[in-house]
Amino acid sequence: MVDRSAHGPQTDTAPTDAAPIDTVADGHRGLDADLRSTRGSFTLDVRLSCPPGSILALLGPNGAGKSSALRALAGLVPLTGGHVRLGGVDHTTTAVEHRPVGMVFQDYLLFPHLSALDNVAFGPRCQGVGRAEARERARALLEHMDLADHVAARPRRLSGGQAQRVALARALAVRPGMLLLDEPMAALDASTRVAVRSRLRHLLEEFDGVTVLVTHDPLDAMVLADHIAVIEGGRLVQEGTPAEVARRPRTTYVARLVGLNLFRGRAHGDTVTLGEDGSDTTATVAVREAHHGPALVAFPPRAVALYRDHPHGSPRNMWRLRVEGVERFGDQVRVHLEGPLSLVADITPAALAELGLARGEEVWAGVKAAEVECYPG
């Protein structure tokens, strides 16, 4: 917020890459939540923690339960188990209107019958702040967000980016300990996203409480958040910094989001045998460092080289694969390959022309062991 110092300490109880163990410690000043609820056939079971001054992104496909998790944090949907603690205080059963939470909704949901100023002043007024003081607080927040010219505007007169900032100001005006954002970028058109995203990041950095945002867009998560929690099917499948998630995805969903080929297997020294249980051991991947036990291997599509004939002095990883499809991908061509393992390779249009690939043809695909990331699975 406007009048507070920018960053809280980042060090206390940072979430680990592996499944989070109990991070409840005395004097935990951030968010510690264990969200469990069952609605019909859908079960949500997610543990989240986030230190103050830090931004956590819940990333996942549609229907994964990330919005449900956010709504549970806000108190909008009841939990059937677990807890929500913020700053060491238990808020599991606190009513929505009494939670120290500010929320930015998808589509922003600014009250259409109130001006931008009255939208922002709404929260403080509900908290019992006097009219003049509430409006003064609202004005200061809007001015801070470069909206001084729009205080009197009705929401429908605002652009998407402006509406987003009014919604953010409205959520911050209640001086929350935790800021929740539900798909904050979804209502914006593509042309304004880049500018709005970096501006939002800047404004979120000023907030010294816990920030949790929900998105299905990996780019939003990477740019806006310090930590990413990936949720699939109501469960937490991966947690880590954006760099960790981008480099070492743990599920095919995450791998596809960050654009990597991902395989699961068992490591024996510097060789990984693919396949979950070792029964259909038709492919192996050589990696640069020795590992043992269940392992994940990942490499980017551009690390894959394709050859018509088996090359001399070849890389250690060489597979005979069948072309399943070819599509444009930016200024590259993405080739989908099937065989003992299925992967995608990005090559230049010139290379494609030279190879003369067609669907159903077989090629050699090679990847250097140095390009392969291997980590415990």
Q: Judged by CB, which is closer to other proteins: 134, or 236?
A: 134
Residue 127 touching other proteins (CB under 8 A): yes
Can you tell me which of 2, 19, 126, 353 binds other proteins, judged by CB under 8 A? Answer: 126
- Asked if 105 is part of the footprint of other proteins (rule: CB under 8 A), the reply reads yes
Q: Which CB contacts under 8 angstroms, 24+ apart, belong to 37-45?
A: 37/68, 37/72, 37/77, 37/78, 37/79, 37/80, 37/81, 38/80, 39/68, 39/77, 42/68, 42/234, 43/234, 44/68, 44/69, 44/72, 44/234, 45/234, 45/235
Asked if residue 301 binds other proteins (CB under 8 A), the reply is no
* 109 vs 351 by CB, closer to other proteins: 109
Quick one: which of 215, 160, 180, 169 has its CA closest to 77? 180
Residue number, 112 or 330, with CB nearest to other proteins: 112
**Pick 98 or 288: Cβ nearer other proteins:** 98
- Within 157-196, the residues that bind other proteins by CB under 8 A are 170-171, 173-174, 180
Which of 116, 122, 181, 232 is in the footprint of other proteins by CB under 8 A? 122
Q: Which residues contact 175 (CB under 8 A, 6 or more apart)?
A: 1
**Binding flag, residue 97, other proteins (CB under 8 A):** yes
**Strand-pair partners of 362:** 322
CA 180 – CA 173 distance, rounded (Å):
13
Indicate the residue among 70 and 341 with the shorter CB distance to other proteins. Answer: 70
Q: Which is nearer to other proteins, 179 or 258 (CB)?
A: 179
Closest CA to 193 of 227, 218, 167, 161: 161
What is the distance between the alpha carbons of residues 10 and 15, in angstroms, rounded to a whole number?
Answer: 11
Cα of 355 vs its chain's centroid, Å? 38
Q: Which is nearer to other proteins, 127 or 282 (CB)?
A: 127
367 binds other proteins (CB under 8 A): no
C-alpha–C-alpha distance, residues 266 and 271, integer Å: 8
Tokens of 66: 């990330």
Using CB under 8 A as the binding rule, whether residue 207 contacts other proteins is answered as no
Point out which span in 46-54, 107-115, 146-154, 267-275 binds other proteins (CB under 8 A).
107-115
Q: Single out the residue of 111, 133, 149, 320 in contact with other proteins (rule: CB under 8 A).
A: 111
In the complex, the smallest distance separating the C-beta of residue 169 from other proteins, rounded to whole angstroms, is: 12
Coil, strand or helix at 256: helix
For residues 36-75, which are near other proteins according to CB under 8 A?
74
Cβ(160)–Cβ(196) below 8 Å: yes
> Could you say whether residue 112 binds other proteins (CB under 8 A)?
yes
156 binds other proteins (CB under 8 A): no
DSSP 32: E
Which span (94-102, 158-166, 241-249, 327-335) binds other proteins, by CB under 8 A? Answer: 94-102
Q: Is 76 in the site for other proteins (CB under 8 A)?
A: yes
Which listed residue (4, 7, 39, 98) binds other proteins by CB under 8 A?
A: 98
User: How many Å separate Cα 325 from the centre of its chain?
Assistant: 29
* Single-letter residue type at 32: D
* Shortest distance in whole angstroms from residue 71 CB to other proteins: 8
**Structure tokens, 355:** 């190879």
Instruction: Give me the least distance between CB of 268 and other proteins, in Å please.
Output: 53
Handedness of CA 18, 20, 22, 24 (dihedral sign): positive
Least separation in angstroms between CB 156 and other proteins: 13
* Touching other proteins, residues 305-364 (CB under 8 A): none
SS3 350: helix
300 within 8 A of 371, measured Cβ to Cβ: yes
- Applying CB under 8 A, among 44, 46, 103, 305 the residue interacting with other proteins is 103
Residues of this chain that bind other proteins (CB under 8 A)? 74, 76, 96-99, 101-103, 105, 107, 109, 111-113, 122-123, 126-127, 170-171, 173-174, 180
